[in-house]
Structure 1
Amino acid sequence: MTSYRCGAAVVAGAACLALGLGACGQPGESSGSGPGKGGLRIGLLLVENQTARYEGYDRPLIEKKIKELCHTCTMEYANAHDDAAIQRQQLDSMITKGVDVLILDAVDVQGIRSSVTEAKRAGVPVVAYDRDAQGPISAYVTHDVETIGTLQGEALLKAMAAKRHGGLVIRLEGPSKSSRLRSPYTQGTKSVLEGKVKTSRMYRAAEWDGGSAQIAMSAAIAAEGVDHVNGVWTGNDVLAGGAIAALKQAHITPLPPVVGQDAELAAVQRLVSGEQYMTVYKPYKPEADAAARIAVALGRGERIDHIAEDKVDTPTTEDVPAALLPSIPMTRANIKDTVVKDGVYTIDQICIPKYRAACDRAGLTG
């Protein structure tokens, strides 16, 4: 068992699932199938819907696994649409409705603390999922953040090659309210880049969307100088897309290597076209399965140490049982062996007409 200290983690609470789930609720609303007949009621609260993974993968995968584990369970679902106040309302509402377990991906890792504490008082375990949440969480499921950062840093060094010495890496992250204190950059990338390249201060997008990222990256380019952008580190692929748009707008050619994470479809297509150098593929199914298994076990009062084999500290809770999952560096060279092999995307989804020629050159078609 591995034990280490982290400044922030992922918040998830696991859930038992109903056979029929309503559509994604509007902000402040949750959808579910009603109380279970002798089963558990599990709440799933996801952070936003701009990043494709949450509605396209995390939610359905968690739902499917819970169905397999617990046929009599039901699930309450809510998406916060990146609004911390709405998410607090959603969480409090789920406690009032009598859910047995919560899976939480927090919008505001500090601001959610009072609601997590209230869940604890109500006897409702909270499982951290893919982002930290302060307060007395019962478990934590994520892909190991340090590994993600290390993979990003190694990719940048490889891509920058001749510009390693004296080259500048621009850092672009999301809004501070949702940034993990234990960020991939701080824990992994920094240790790889330190002493080998220069790095900018952290520029922050106002929201987790491409437009905000483009604005923040444009500010970075203006501040650091068009001729001094030799590499770009971003917190995820949505931000990477915005950063690349800003680089194009500034007529920076050739594009410097840009790294992200999440293996979003748009990012995979940018890998094919050569606009983005690398992303970190974090297989969604193992993470969703672990969250579901932990949630159901907690709801049943069972041990979870065979699932959450590690321990981490958050800023408010020590020795949190954690499942820290491995990640895979992905470039154009291993698209077939990662997201295509795992069935995340098909070749036809990736190689739409706009990217057909690039796919041919990459060996994805034909």
Structure 2
Amino acid sequence: MERKNCYFISFILLIVVWLAGCDSYAEPSELPSVPSAAEQDHTLEEDVTVIRTLKIGLSMDTLVEERWEKDRDMFKEAVEALGAEVEVKAANGNDALQIAQAETLISQGVDLLVLVPHNAEAAATIVGKAQMAGIPVISYDRLVKNANIDLYISFDNEKVGELQAEAITALVPEGKYVYIGGASTDNNAHLLKEGVYNVLQPFIERGDITVVYDQWTEAWMPANAKQNMQAALIANDNDIDAVIAANDATAGGVIEALAEQGLAGKVPVAGQDAELAGLQHIVNGEQAMTVYKSIKSLTEQAAEIAVRMASGEVIETDTTINNGKKDVPTVFLTPVAVDKTNIEETIIADGFHRAEDIYHGLPNK
């Protein structure tokens, strides 16, 4: 009898333990929700969209000249202020290197490529590679020829040449002129020359002005510009009345050649870019004028457009320029002629250069 009671009690205990174990499991409705694989992927995609930063590639011809350092620094600052990143490559005037660097930027998956071409024709290869990868391209300051670029932003370089020639012909309406151009591979150099001759041609036709020397400057190098000016002086027995140089760097080479003959400050010289050395030449009377192109305005507008395009926005413009391949949507900014009389209200007022840097150590302040 006692054994039966033991069995009965054991049976009861087993039932109690079993019921207690059942209570430790939650009902299905109480289990935590686990998202499906599709839902997890969707959530990850949304997270990436939120945290991903747009990346702009900047492929530059060179950083040798002062102005291009300003372009790089100001563009980078403007893009970063808009919440994007910039990866910069500079090719030092080497076409093959610029193509290789651009390929690197493309392989890194930049959202947009900003291109300052060394060679207007060779750079078309870069544009083709970028667009095969679905990356839009902005041609910055220099037009890429025969390529399907998405947008071109620059100053009106033909107008720059006109401003140079207008200033010099006002000073020297008659006489022997020398034109020292930029690099023949740079489309801007051709536009500058067109603008200069737009103004000079009526003087030439009247016989008032004779262009006695006209030469391109390889790679825009001041040393090459100096050699060109030396050749012009030799060919004309130093009988030169005015010089128009394609930029302030080449104007510097011209002034060196004139100085060797005791002619610096006696022959008016025009440049452009408003480089510090050019402004100092102006203050010293060795250069007549320069053309100021507000790099701050250019970089800020280029940065805004680049970020908008990288985000997928289509930019429409009122102006187009045909580059041999298509009518390219174009944004033009306005250049300003600068001489000794308006340096402070233009260059200094914009913060492009400081007064103490321009006038430092110069007696003519």
The TM tier, using the shorter chain, reads 0.7 to 0.9
Q: Separation in 1 of the partners of 2:212 and 2:311?
A: 48
Q: Separation in 1 of the partners of 2:92 and 2:241?
A: 34
Task: Report deviation, 1:253.
Answer: 6.0
Work out whether 1:325 is the aligned partner of 2:339: no
RMSD, aligned CA: 1.7
Task: Report deviation, 1:41.
Answer: 1.5
- 3-state DSSP of counterpart to 2:185: helix
Work out whether 1:358 is the aligned partner of 2:364: yes
Q: Separation in 1 of the partners of 2:218 and 2:321?
A: 29
The structure where helix makes up a greater share of residues is 2
Indicate which of 109, 115, 124 corresponds to 2:120: 109
Task: Report deviation, 1:182.
Answer: 4.3
The corresponding residue for 1:362 is none
Indicate which of 269, 274, 278 corresponds to 2:285: 274
Aligned pairs (5 A) from 1:66-215:
66-69=79-82, 71=83, 73-134=84-145, 135-160=147-172, 164-165=173-174, 167-180=175-188, 182-186=190-194, 188-196=195-203, 197-215=209-227
Q: Separation in 1 of the partners of 2:277 and 2:224?
A: 17
Q: What does the per-residue CA deviation read over 1:89-121, in whole Å, with 9 as the maximum and x for residues that have no partner?
A: 111111111111011110011111112111111
Q: Separation in 2 of the partners of 1:195 and 1:74?
A: 49
Task: Report deviation, 1:176.
Answer: 1.6
Q: Separation in 2 of the partners of 1:276 and 1:116?
A: 38
Partner AA of 1:83 in structure 2: N
Q: Separation in 2 of the partners of 1:180 and 1:347?
A: 29
Indicate which of 48, 69, 72 corresponds to 1:59: 72
Work out whether 1:44 is the aligned partner of 2:58: yes
Work out whether 1:341 is the aligned partner of 2:353: no
Q: Separation in 1 of the partners of 2:216 and 2:61?
A: 18
Deviating more after overlay: 213-222 vs 270-279: 213-222
Partner AA of 1:344 in structure 2: F
- 3-state DSSP of counterpart to 2:218: coil
Task: Report deviation, 1:270.
Answer: 0.5
Q: Is the 8 A contact 2:181 2:189 kept in 1?
A: no
Q: Is the 8 A contact 2:57 2:113 kept in 1?
A: yes
Q: Is the 8 A contact 2:176 2:242 kept in 1?
A: yes
Q: What does the per-residue CA deviation read over 1:218-252, in whole Å, with 9 as the maximum and x for residues that have no partner?
A: 1122223311x111111110000001111111333
Partner AA of 2:179 in structure 1: R
Partner AA of 1:78 in structure 2: K
Partner AA of 1:350 in structure 2: I
Task: Report deviation, 1:265.
Answer: 0.3
Task: Report deviation, 1:37.
Answer: 4.5
Indicate which of 238, 247, 250 corresponds to 1:226: 238
Work out whether 1:260 is the aligned partner of 2:267: no
Aligned residues: 310
TM-score (norm 1): 0.81
Q: Separation in 2 of the partners of 1:285 and 1:253?
A: 32
- 3-state DSSP of counterpart to 2:320: strand
Indicate which of 286, 297, 311 corresponds to 1:286: 297
**Structure 2 segments unaligned to the other structure (5+ residues):** 1-49, 204-208
Q: Separation in 2 of the partners of 1:206 and 1:96?
A: 32
The corresponding residue for 1:28 is none
Task: Report deviation, 1:61.
Answer: 1.3
TM-score (norm 2): 0.81
State the identity as a percent: 31
Q: Separation in 2 of the partners of 1:168 and 1:183?
A: 22
Work out whether 1:236 is the aligned partner of 2:242: no
Q: Separation in 1 of the partners of 2:307 and 2:231?
A: 46
Q: Separation in 1 of the partners of 2:252 and 2:265?
A: 16
